[in-house]
Chain A
Amino acid sequence: MSLQITFWILATVAVSGALLAVRLRNLIHGVFSLMIFFGALAGMFLLLMAEFIAAVQILVYIGAVGILLLFAIMLTERVAEDGGRRISSRGSFWGMAAAIAVFVALLLPAIRQTDLPKTAQTVQPSVEKLGQQLMDPYVVTLEVMALLLTAALIGAVAVSQGGKPKNEDEPK
């Protein structure tokens, strides 16, 4: 019973956060409502006893992606004002129709065919198992991904440095 109540609270928060993130004109408000949505999702994962995924959800989506979005917005112009510059949306009817069609044709059958678990149980691959899996069969994948991310990081630094003139007067 209490699980049901928690689920409905989280679901309401998640849906309203997502809606606000899309609808708000003020970009910073939008980012924060997106984070509310992410937080509610983390709560859902906790409700399903998937604590590691919940932690990663908070760590990656709120902690990293959120901060990144905020920085990106900070570096752009005029974020808070309404400014009268509104993106007029044409053909919103067709967009809505396409979304509903996708939902009915693809998602609904998929949802109805899955038998939902009656009660939440501890997700079997616990954190320990997950770690062992990463270290034993998937270690090469892990290393390749790490290499790729490091390369991306160095590349980002190199790009952001730009073509600096060589003879810059450095303070001695």
Chain B
Amino acid sequence: MSFELIKDILLATVPLLVIFPSLFAFTTWMERKALARIQNRIGPNKTGIPCTRIGLFGLGQPAADGIKMIFKEDIVPRGADRLFHLLAPILALIPAMLILCFLPLEFPWTKSMQPIHAFLLDSAVIFFFAISGLATLAIFMAGWASRNKYSLLGGMRAVAQMVSYEIPLVLSAVVVVMGAGSLSAEKIVQEQNFLWFVFTPWGFAAFVIFFIAALAETNRSPFDLPEAESELVAGYFTEYSGFKFALFFLGEYIAMFAISGLAVVLFLGGGNGPGAGLHPLLDPWVPVVWFIAKIFGLIALMIWLRGTLPRLRVDQLMAFAWKFLMPLSILNILITGAALHLLADGRLEALTRRPNHLYKMIEGANPAMIGVLWIGSFLILYAAACGLDNLNRPGAKPRNYKYAE
């Protein structure tokens, strides 16, 4: 065990452990502010610099919340499984932090240093899904260990929901893997140097499916049934207080960052973006900034959706995953295969060896065919979505509201 190895390990992991929890603190503030604006309130605006009247738009709120959480009493219900009650919040945080390592996010701290990844794996995408699935266990553990009806119901709902929505999530990632010809996150990002996958019809459909499934995977509204406060008090963390609750909260937000990061890698071109060449010192930081900015774009979308949409019913939730998202994503895979086959013109195997092959295939193809392909696949997907909707809810039409005159 040499000094170099320890230094490398620290340089790879400490930035993740520092940057993302700080971003979490900022995100909680951002979410509260944005939700407040949507609901015509002001939101946190008092907490700023201590002992002064300077409010700083309430930016001190996360710090105040953190201090409050630490000093709160830690209550363990009688009859609870004490060991599991303690372990569940920790287990909720570990997979969330672990999957951050699979994002191709490079922090170039020194000029001479090779950029360090925590993990550089050929099958990073598979690993991502494998490990993010472990969060289900933590939620189940919390629900079971609390010895509380509401907790257990919340835990059961969470498990059912996360198992169901993992399928469309993975199936929509398959589309990107087909286009990129690789499972490594780095190569997928490199493939999108010129053309982000979200700008292809199948990629766009996959992105929408992926985003919806990601909302459900991270228990975000409108899929926050496991913690539905109007039905289940607080779901699986009803019996959690103090810092254990804070750990759950942190785990949930880190998982949000991680899954948005994966969406950025798969569909939005990773750290690709303009801005290189301003200054040699700043250059290596451009991808990092782009990456985090894109993650924040997706988080902002999640917050907006939370402020806009009402919560689903349980049966709607399950029907949506199994009867709508899953057939649509399978159809999407078929369309991707057909489109790639047509574009490659029988040279697919030779082409996938070269970088940016999707872009080159499109560049070399007949423009008329590209038009037909783009519009055709868009129409097929749209028609399929409408058809599935009609099948699932026959006779559904816009509701006629009768307001009091």
Contacts and interface: CB of A to CB of B under 8 A. Distances in A.
Q: Could you tell me the dominant secondary structure of chain B's interface residues?
A: helix
The interface size bin for chain B is: 20 to 34
A62 interface: yes
Nearest to A52: B123
A80 interface: yes
Nearest to B136: A67
Interface stretch (B127-135, B200-208, B326-334): B127-135
Nearest to B166: A63
Interface string A61-75: 011001100110010
A58 B136 CA distance: 13
A74 B133 contact: no
A51 B123 CA distance: 7
A48 to B, nearest CB: 14
Interface string A31-59: 01001000000000000000110111011
Contacts of B123: 51-52, 55, 127
Contacts, number: 64
Given A52-B123, A126-B122, A58 B137 contact: no
B1 A55 contact: no
Given A2-B5, A67-B159, A59 B129 contact: yes
B133 A63 contact: yes
Nearest to B140: A70
A35 B131 CA distance: 13
A73 to B, nearest CB: 9
Q: Could you tell me the dominant secondary structure of chain A's interface residues?
A: helix
A55 B130 contact: yes
A139 B193 CA distance: 33
B134 A58 contact: yes
Nearest to B125: A55
A63 B122 contact: no
A51 B121 CA distance: 8
Interface in B212-245: none
Contacts of B133: 58-59, 62-63
A2 B9 CA distance: 13
Contacts of B267: none
Interface residues of A, number: 25
Contacts of A5: 1
A169 to B, nearest CB: 17
B97 to A, nearest CB: 15
A1 interface: yes
A66 B137 contact: yes
A80 B137 CA distance: 17
Contacts of B122: 51-52, 126-128
A28 interface: yes
B156 interface: yes
B293 interface: no
Interface in A107-165: 126-128
Interface in B144-164: 144, 156, 159, 163
Contacts of B130: 55-56, 58-59, 62-63
B140 A55 contact: no
Contacts of A56: 126, 130
Interface string B80-102: 01011000000000000000000
A151 B141 CA distance: 32
Contact of B126 (A55, A62, A70, A74): A55
Interface string B107-126: 00000000000000111001
B137 A59 contact: no
B302 interface: no
B344 interface: no
CB-based closest 4 A-B pairs: A59-B130, A63-B133, A58-B130, A55-B126
Interface of A: 1-2, 5, 28-29, 32, 35, 51-52, 54-56, 58-59, 62-63, 66-67, 70-71, 74, 80, 126-128
Given A29-B84, A67-B140, A70-B137, 12 more contacts: A1-B1, A2-B1, A28-B144, A51-B121, A51-B127, A54-B127, A55-B123, A59-B129, A62-B130, A62-B137, A71-B159, A126-B122
